[in-house]
Structure 1
Amino acid sequence: MPKFVDQSNYNDRVAVIVSVDSANIYAGDTELFHSLESSLVEALPKEACEWRRSYGRAVKSVFVSASFIPFSKEILPKGGNWQLTHQPVFHIYWTECMDVDVYKMSVRDEIEAWLKTLNQHNIQDWMIVIVETYDLRKSNKLLPRTTVLDKIRSDFASKHADRCLSVINPVRSESRSAESWRGLLTRIRLLVLSAYNRTLLKFEEFIRDQRERRNELGWNFCHYFLLQEELAFVLEMLGVYDEALVQYDELDALFTQFVLNSNVGDTPAWLGTFQVPLEDWPGIVLDCNINQTHRGLIGECRASLLQFRGYLFTRQCTMLQLLSKPWELAQRCLPFLHNCVKELEILEVAAPPGAVACWLFLCSLEVLHTCETFQDGRHVEACSLYTAGLWAYARDKLHELGALCGLLPGCDPSSQQLHTVVGLSAGMGDSREHGSYPTPTDKLKEALSSKEAFKKHYLELAELAMGTYKHIGRIRSARLVGRELAQFYLLLGERNKAAAFLSDSLKTYEEEGWRDLVLKTQLELAECCDKMGDTERFVKLCAVIASASELDMPTRISHFDKMTAALRDLRTDPPLTEPLSDCFSLGEVQVTLGEGGTITKDSPVEVTVNLDSSLPCPIGGCRVDLSLEEVKTNVSTGVPAARPQEAPAERRARRGQASQPPPSSVVNTLAHRINVDDPLRQANNPVLSRLSMVEHLDYQQDKSLSSASMASKNTKQFLRRSDSHGRYRKTSVAARSDFSYCLSAEDIVINPGRNTLANAPVVLSQTTKDGEIEVRILVGCKAREKGLYRLGQLSLRVTSNLEFLSGTLTPRVGFEVTREPPSVTLNMGGKELLAGLEQDMVLTVSSGSQRIEEGACLKLHASRGLLLQIQSSEESLCHEILVPLLQTEPFTTLSMQLRVMAELPPKRDSSVIEHKVMVQCPWLVEDRIIPLHFKPPFMSTCRLHTAQVRKFVQVVVAGLTAQMVELREPELSVMSDLDLPLMSLNPQHGQKQIAGNNMNVSFMWEVDVDAVQDTPPIKTEFSVKYSPINDVTTLSSEQLFTTYKCNFDVQDYKTLFVVRSRVEPMKGSELCRSGTMCHLQLKVTRVNSGSHNSLMYEVLADQTMWAVCGRTAGVISLETVDKQNITLDVMPLIGGYLPLPGIRLSKYIPADHKSPGRGN
């Protein structure tokens, strides 16, 4: 029998041999073949061979193993017989004839008869093997011209030479036969695979033709099912289990389509055979064996729908087991069961009550037990994803049977229900023999036998379903099973276990926000706790239920009354604590600051809190406390110290927020007003984040717009499934903080809706426009010592034994209790401080949080060059003054006018003048220094001008500020012993001389330099009187003028040489013309003696106007003469009045000149 091994899915090249129920037929020399059969059968499966198939199917590497049977006409396939699993696929003729004459006499006729028989049965897969036996004693004999192999090829295989092969007998000559024997094995493998491929192609074509006739009258799906299943058998036999599974899946889909079509159209005659009422409902058996009984019923068209479906699913599961895919087996089971139930409804198959539930239960358990046989860790993990639903489905069906048969707790089965149990047990049939564990049939029969057995099996299935759901992370499904299990325990009277399951379910629903499920579970849990006598838990649940706006008002009021009645009888110490958010919601929280935006020591603290009550009725006699926490700060850094103890849930919430940069001040970290339920605070919620969308345009081939849409760049970020386990956490009851320092109020009535808790001298009530009652309650205290305080928790005590606690208010809201010392400032009121002018300044004293007593004085001491004066005082300006202060209350301000005057030093630049005022305060140990910066109103600069041999000194007074000043009586005097006359060229009367911003005044004096022989530096002093301009429009100034003085040094004030230049036309021309050569006449004259005799001249001409011909520089000597004339050729380039080229004289130092002291 051929055997094939598919290695396409095995990376480690492990071979798994799959037997095939088929045979290869041998003919010819029987004794010869028997001598080689054992070696042939043993050698074939040792090497792999590629199996190449048509229609683009994947190439597979397989091992071929074969068994052989003798040739007979009776075993040859007949026409129309498509049972391929028992048909021979390959024929081999064996002979050891080596003599051509013997071949012609007998062997040729035998081969011809053999091939004729094969052709009559349309068999094309054959092979002829000639076994040669070498005789060593006749090795020298000459080789014949024509061998038997050549004759056979020419007679029978002229077009198929590969089907005739000659090998050396390995039994007689093993060393010489190795190569030929290897070639024979390879050829047999290839031809056997080719034979199977050809046979399968014919069979597939036949199946395809039969499928196309499915709409013809007389076509029967049952017969077609057996036909295509034969192909699946062959593929299974060949080891191609995945392709065999495909055949069964096609049959499954085809049958389903027929059933669906029958629901809207005519029902085929063959489908009516599946509409017979159910008489038995045995479960499926997944033992990899073929159920011949059901297969025979299918062939006879007598199978029921459940029998057909069970058989088909069993075969699919067998293929999956052979493929080692138990997880897919579990994955297919639940949809298969749902599909069967739907088909029973469509075909209107009659069944006894509970029969279908029994069959579904048995099928589920059989698949689950089959999956448990796979112990590999990977298989267990993969199966758990799908077995969880199967466990829950089996539990549901068992519960359905329990309700039908009266086996649920609190029920007694009637005689009719007992008869139902007997009928169901009979329909399940006898269970198969299995000694290791009870079969599903045994379990179901045992579960239906008694209420205790039913309870045992039901709880076992529920626990398995819950455990598997938790293992794969499907907590929601596990909680749903637990909730149904709680109902079962309630029927049993075990309320403690029921409460545990309901509590787990409630926790999950609250974490994930399933509001409808939360309310239903809370109602069930409250009823359970009431029956258990758990008053504390019952009170909490009643409070939450009464606050649920989704419930109807009678239900809420009923539970509110139950809560108040239970609280009257409850005695607890400490009181019960419940999250404030369960029944109340905080709105706006605002701290009212005192005057100046601060709160001082011993002053009242005002806080307004908006509290919304969700309870249906008013609550009287309440006490409200709002804790205060002092923020400890690091003295050296100003950074807040570690936070006080917080609840773990709040710490997790705080840790999840984005880190903020450290504040510059601790006060800036606290707000004075927040809105706790502000929807804008939910901006960090990823569900509410802005999507990143882009425009997507689709165009047709003609470039016209086909459609326009919006697409997201990152769909995975927003379309991912949230994990149902551990992602959501509801904030638990916060730990009670320290309420020793708090805002409090007693005997408060909390009404439904908005309540405003505010700091007020009395308790007031007023009706708003909307008809709601707004209650204002005294919640106040006095500020303690200086420091930073923030609001912590809100405690609302309804009675002495029930307290609602909020979490820590976030963002943090608080206030600062200040103890501010008095401060002193000196300012100009927005104007600039100018030196040299008397100006008004304001001395401001702020009392801070202290009280300044009468008689206190400030002592102001100015730096050198700065004078002070109290404006209201008659004393003159001085360096030190005393300022008396009036009695002032805290946080008041005193202002006094001062007069200041800073000396104006000689200024040649615009730099500021710095002064300091030292203030001695009675409340400070050290003096405070106030720096003042004065700007000069103007500055002065000096410059020497030359006109031939005459010299002029110019002094420019430049204004620097917007303050204009009038200048009078400018004077320039020589401070040295030189008798140097200075003649003023400044006007004595006429227009006012005013300097200001961008306004300069120039003064000029002529210096008579001929009065001195030498040229020593001249030290001069410039003085001018100035007065500020009060009225810009009239330019009127004060009558009081101040003198400004500044010293200047004048050097190099004598002219040594005079240069004269002119341009003359060439001889014969009267005018200078552009483009013609002209003469530039230079004349250098010594006017005063000096040490410079050799001079270098340079002509500096504008190249756009003049072109200098020849050298533009030269050296002249005035050692013996006082005048020198130089003539240069220049050419004007343009017409018009042109400026003459410039001449520059420089002292000439020869190259060989040596410095004094360096030799001769």
Structure 2
Amino acid sequence: MPIPVRLEQVAASVHFSIEKNSFHKAVECLSKQGVTAGGNNGIIHIQTDPPAGRPPRVSLPLLELYEMHDKSPLDNSLNSTGVICNNVHLLLRHQESGSSTETQSGVPLEDSAQVLKTTNVLLEPGFNKIAFTAPAHEPGMYTLRQLCATMGSVQFVLPHIYPIVQYEVYSQEPQLKVEPLTDILLAGIAQKVKFTIITGHYAIKNGDVLQLSNIDAMPILYSPGSTATILSNTGEKVEESVLMIQSSEKVTSIMLPLTPAYHVIEFELEVICHILSTLSKPFDNERLTNGEVHWKTKDNQKPDSCQAAIAQKMSIDCPWSIYSTIIALTFYNPFKAAQSLLSAGKRKYIQVCLQNMSEVSFHLLDHNLTESLKCPNIELVSMNVKTRQHVYRKQSVFCLWEIKWTKELPSSLQCRFSVNFSPAISEEESTSFKPYAYEFQLENIVTLYNVKAEIYPVLGAEHCRTGSLCSLDVSITRLSDLTEADQDESLTESDGMCTTKLMYEGKGFD
């Protein structure tokens, strides 16, 4: 019956791969082999006597000297000499083949460049896992060549480890990442972003700070209880530390906790991007003569459901670099507004449509519409009953104001719509409200024509019936003088009468 076996030591020899094309590696190799100048015709002889206790080695190839540079400073300081040979690659190739031959002939593991060792290992029947601690003094590729298990005075040697087992050692540079915790960042709302610092080969010392440049449009919010979590390179939590944050007019300084190299620091801060007043875009040939918005049909309407993006950049100074790190965050406007001018006889109304473009529900408070130029004879009367409304995701809210004037109505109006909004945590609760503003201008608000339409039944009938031919009378009354553009479009003019083109569209109903 199989029983556990205790091994005194398990060792693995490690080979470090050098760069074959590196001149510095070749010089190191030459110095280790004991290069001596003394040959003729530029030939350098290499000592081939094996060290004590080693078997004789095959003679190494002769190096052919190509150039030699001698630098002798004038102040009689240390001289330096550089040697360049034509066939260094033969020496490197021979060294690799020689090391392979030596490994096959049973070179002791202690004579290898590096050895991984672990002691007092208990081998259980079946598969066993043995953990080695691998010291790495310089970056490169390390290959496990041999495996040796020692039990008393007996050694069990595996001359070749196959398949090939390698691990790469490199020096990792410190990194800083700032990313949102949600899919998108909404402007006007305080949201958390996650700071991740990968220390790499740099160890965070006492007094190391991150310095964040303050932006008026995107202030950084923090609380005294903000904490940072330190993780190992395997993701295990090491400790949690309270962050010390100091803020001035231009800079926010974050004191980093003491952290060893090759660890991760994570912490979260709140940021908010203020929403500036948005201006409506002018429409070319998209308005009717009385200033109303020309609503497009489904055939030529362009989809415009994308949210307006606001890009903010933040500069961060890190203790491990003399250069600043630029972090870009993109916020999206949660709302989209549009206006229209409505006319009913001599009465006029301004309608504002506020559309929630996000996946978040909001509370709306205090809808307000003001005339920016402060005309004394203009008054905007609110027709909105509710001062507080709840708008769900992807929902639109319409607000209406009546325009009243005492004297002549101006040709244009500059208006500003504003409302306070807050994310709806529940149906009743909400956080602090933030302002949203939308500015627009109405052109040609004077009513030019009054249109009246009436349908009459056939003679002798009281009502219009299905299948009978009824007459449609359309009366268009001009209420103001023609503009120059209207006069240019006139077809004929005689005795003060103008004939213009009348475009209409007829639709049939089943």
Look up the equivalent residue of 1:852 and give its one-letter code.
I
478, 489, 495: which one pairs with 1:1086? 478
* CA deviation profile, 1:848-871 (whole Å, cap 9, x unmatched): 233211111110114451111332
Look up the equivalent residue of 2:421 and give its one-letter code.
Y
Q: Residues 1057 and 917 (structure 1 numbering): CA distance in 2 closer, same or farther, change over 3 Å? A: same
Aligned to 2:491: none
Aligned to 1:870: 222
Look up the equivalent residue of 1:1036 and give its one-letter code.
E
91, 100, 121: which one pairs with 1:737? 100
* CA deviation profile, 1:909-958 (whole Å, cap 9, x unmatched): 72211111211111112111111111222232221112223221111221
**Cα deviation, residue 1095, structure 1:** 2.4
Looking at structure 1, the residues matched to 334 and 207 of structure 2 have their Cα atoms a distance apart, in angstroms, of: 39
Contact 1:980–1:1011 (CA under 8 A) maintained in structure 2: yes
166, 173, 176: which one pairs with 1:824? 176
Contact 2:179–2:195 (CA under 8 A) maintained in structure 1: yes
Look up the equivalent residue of 1:944 and give its one-letter code.
L
In angstroms, what is the RMSD of aligned CA positions?
A: 4.1
Q: Gaps (5+ residues) in structure 2? A: 1-6, 23-96, 225-243, 281-305, 487-497
**Cα deviation, residue 744, structure 1:** 7.1
Asked if residue 1041 in structure 1 is aligned to residue 433 in structure 2, the reply is yes
Q: Residues 829 and 743 (structure 1 numbering): CA distance in 2 closer, same or farther, change over 3 Å? A: farther
Aligned to 1:954: 351
Contact 2:9–2:121 (CA under 8 A) maintained in structure 1: no
* CA deviation profile, 1:87-119 (whole Å, cap 9, x unmatched): xxxxxxxxxxxxxxxxxxxxxxxxxxxxxxxxx
Aligned to 2:119: 762
**Cα deviation, residue 791, structure 1:** 3.5
Asked if residue 838 in structure 1 is aligned to residue 243 in structure 2, the reply is no
**Cα deviation, residue 883, structure 1:** 0.5
Look up the equivalent residue of 1:1074 and give its one-letter code.
T
Q: Residues 956 and 877 (structure 1 numbering): CA distance in 2 closer, same or farther, change over 3 Å? A: farther
* CA deviation profile, 1:798-817 (whole Å, cap 9, x unmatched): x9xxx9854x844x431122
* CA deviation profile, 1:698-717 (whole Å, cap 9, x unmatched): xxxxxxxxxxxxxxxxxxxx
Q: Secondary structure at the match of 2:453?
A: strand
**Cα deviation, residue 996, structure 1:** 4.1
Look up the equivalent residue of 1:1043 and give its one-letter code.
P
Contact 1:623–1:745 (CA under 8 A) maintained in structure 2: no
Higher Cα Rg: structure 1 or 2?
Answer: 1
Aligned to 1:1067: 459
How many correspondences in the alignment? Answer: 361
Look up the equivalent residue of 1:1035 and give its one-letter code.
E
Aligned to 1:1024: 419
Superposition TM-score, scaled by structure 2 size: 0.61
* CA deviation profile, 1:983-1013 (whole Å, cap 9, x unmatched): 33343556x3123421222211112367325
Asked if residue 994 in structure 1 is aligned to residue 381 in structure 2, the reply is no
Looking at structure 2, the residues matched to 832 and 904 of structure 1 have their Cα atoms a distance apart, in angstroms, of: 16
Look up the equivalent residue of 2:125 and give its one-letter code.
T
Looking at structure 2, the residues matched to 820 and 1009 of structure 1 have their Cα atoms a distance apart, in angstroms, of: 72
Looking at structure 2, the residues matched to 1052 and 776 of structure 1 have their Cα atoms a distance apart, in angstroms, of: 84
Look up the equivalent residue of 2:459 and give its one-letter code.
K
Q: What are the within-5 Å matches in structure 2 for residues 440-839 of structure 1?
A: 626-630=13-17, 632=19, 736-737=99-100, 745=109, 761-764=118-121, 766=123, 768=125, 782-792=135-145, 806=160, 809-810=162-163, 812-830=164-182, 832-839=184-191
More helix by share: 1
Contact 1:869–1:878 (CA under 8 A) maintained in structure 2: no
Q: What are the within-5 Å matches in structure 2 for residues 949-988 of structure 1?
A: 949-976=346-373, 978-987=375-384
* CA deviation profile, 1:1049-1105 (whole Å, cap 9, x unmatched): 001212211222222222223332333333222222222333444322244222x44
Looking at structure 1, the residues matched to 133 and 420 of structure 2 have their Cα atoms a distance apart, in angstroms, of: 69
Q: Secondary structure at the match of 1:737?
A: helix
1100, 1117, 1124: which one pairs with 2:505? 1100
Q: Secondary structure at the match of 2:275?
A: coil
Asked if residue 881 in structure 1 is aligned to residue 252 in structure 2, the reply is yes
Look up the equivalent residue of 1:1062 and give its one-letter code.
E
Look up the equivalent residue of 1:790 and give its one-letter code.
T
**Cα deviation, residue 971, structure 1:** 1.8
Looking at structure 2, the residues matched to 1052 and 833 of structure 1 have their Cα atoms a distance apart, in angstroms, of: 39
Look up the equivalent residue of 1:1052 and give its one-letter code.
N
Aligned to 1:857: 209
Asked if residue 893 in structure 1 is aligned to residue 264 in structure 2, the reply is yes
Contact 1:984–1:1005 (CA under 8 A) maintained in structure 2: yes
Q: Secondary structure at the match of 1:1097?
A: coil
Looking at structure 2, the residues matched to 854 and 886 of structure 1 have their Cα atoms a distance apart, in angstroms, of: 7
Looking at structure 2, the residues matched to 743 and 878 of structure 1 have their Cα atoms a distance apart, in angstroms, of: 68
Contact 1:850–1:890 (CA under 8 A) maintained in structure 2: yes
**Cα deviation, residue 1048, structure 1:** 0.6
Contact 1:628–1:739 (CA under 8 A) maintained in structure 2: no
Look up the equivalent residue of 2:140 and give its one-letter code.
G
Look up the equivalent residue of 2:119 and give its one-letter code.
V
916, 928, 947: which one pairs with 2:313? 916
Looking at structure 1, the residues matched to 128 and 337 of structure 2 have their Cα atoms a distance apart, in angstroms, of: 76
Look up the equivalent residue of 1:998 and give its one-letter code.
K
Looking at structure 2, the residues matched to 634 and 1052 of structure 1 have their Cα atoms a distance apart, in angstroms, of: 79
- If asked which structure has higher relative contact order (CA below 8 Å, sep 6+), I would say 2
**Cα deviation, residue 837, structure 1:** 2.0
**Cα deviation, residue 779, structure 1:** 8.0
Look up the equivalent residue of 1:886 and give its one-letter code.
P
Looking at structure 1, the residues matched to 21 and 207 of structure 2 have their Cα atoms a distance apart, in angstroms, of: 38
**Cα deviation, residue 737, structure 1:** 3.0
Q: Residues 906 and 632 (structure 1 numbering): CA distance in 2 closer, same or farther, change over 3 Å? A: farther
Looking at structure 1, the residues matched to 358 and 130 of structure 2 have their Cα atoms a distance apart, in angstroms, of: 62
Aligned to 1:557: none
Aligned to 1:934: 331
Q: Secondary structure at the match of 2:186?
A: coil
Q: Secondary structure at the match of 1:1001?
A: strand
Q: What are the within-5 Å matches in structure 2 for residues 1051-1066 of structure 1?
A: 1051-1066=443-458
More strand by share: 2
Looking at structure 2, the residues matched to 1021 and 857 of structure 1 have their Cα atoms a distance apart, in angstroms, of: 44
Look up the equivalent residue of 2:372 and give its one-letter code.
M
Superposition TM-score, scaled by structure 1 size: 0.28
Contact 1:864–1:879 (CA under 8 A) maintained in structure 2: no
Look up the equivalent residue of 1:948 and give its one-letter code.
G
Look up the equivalent residue of 2:464 and give its one-letter code.
C
Looking at structure 2, the residues matched to 744 and 781 of structure 1 have their Cα atoms a distance apart, in angstroms, of: 19
Looking at structure 1, the residues matched to 357 and 179 of structure 2 have their Cα atoms a distance apart, in angstroms, of: 21
Look up the equivalent residue of 2:217 and give its one-letter code.
G
Looking at structure 2, the residues matched to 1036 and 804 of structure 1 have their Cα atoms a distance apart, in angstroms, of: 71
Percent of aligned pairs sharing the same letter: 21
Contact 2:189–2:273 (CA under 8 A) maintained in structure 1: yes
Q: Secondary structure at the match of 1:1036?
A: coil
Aligned to 1:1007: 403
Looking at structure 1, the residues matched to 246 and 352 of structure 2 have their Cα atoms a distance apart, in angstroms, of: 38
Look up the equivalent residue of 1:942 and give its one-letter code.
Q
**Cα deviation, residue 887, structure 1:** 1.1
Look up the equivalent residue of 1:945 and give its one-letter code.
L
Look up the equivalent residue of 1:1046 and give its one-letter code.
Y
